């Protein structure tokens, strides 16, 4: 008997979807995981809507580095990355991703000890 023929259901609980969305968003936005919040809603047809609130990571002032892309391009790129990664990880269709930047944090390079 193959694994696909076994009776039963497989579900990903809501907290697992939220934590996965937070981790994926933190990675896509290069933001600290502890400062990223996500809300995941099932639309009733199996597709997900994701709302992410995260700080905008900016280079340290005076570091003479310029952000690689405008803020809106960062949000657009991150939304596409979040949707694709969540679809790959969960197998669920991601219908919509909204990103809200709630604050700004400096991306200070850390020294290796």
Write down the mean pLDDT value for the chain: 87
Using the predicted structure, report yes or no on whether residue 109 has a pLDDT greater than 70: no
User: What pTM was estimated for this model as a whole?
Assistant: 0.82
Using the predicted structure, report yes or no on whether residue 2 has a pLDDT greater than 60: no
Phi/psi class of residue 91: alpha, beta or left (left: φ > 0; alpha: ψ in -120 to 50)? left
Q: List pLDDT tens digits, range 17-57.
A: 999 999 999 999 999 999 999 999 988 888 999 999 999 98
**Could you tell me the pLDDT band of residue 3, with boundaries at 50, 70 and 90?**
low
Stated as kind and residue range, the H or E segment containing 55 is strand 48-59
How many CB atoms are closer than 10 A to CB 103?
10
Between 110 and 36, residue with greater pLDDT: 36
Fold type of domain 12-107: GMP Synthetase; Chain A, domain 3 (3.30.300)
The residue whose two tokens read 């990880």 is 89
DSSP classification of residue 39: E
Where exactly are the structural domains of the chain?
A: 12-107
32 φ, ψ (degrees, to nearest 5): -65, 130
Nearest in space to 85 (alpha carbons), one of 37, 32, 21, 29: 21
């Amino acid at each position: 008997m193959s694994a696909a023929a076994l009776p039963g259901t497989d579900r990903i609980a809501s907290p697992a979807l939220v934590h996965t969305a937070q981790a994926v968003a933190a990675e896509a936005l290069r933001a600290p995981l502890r400062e990223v919040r996500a809300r995941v809603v099932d639309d009733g047809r199996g597709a997900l809507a994701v709302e992410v609130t995260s700080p905008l990571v900016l280079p340290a002032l005076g570091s003479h580095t310029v952000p690689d892309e405008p803020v809106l391009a960062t949000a657009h790129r991150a939304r596409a990355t979040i949707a694709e990664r969540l679809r790959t990880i969960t197998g669920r269709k991601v219908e919509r991703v909204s990103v809200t930047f709630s604050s700004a944090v400096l991306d200070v390079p850390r020294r290796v000890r």
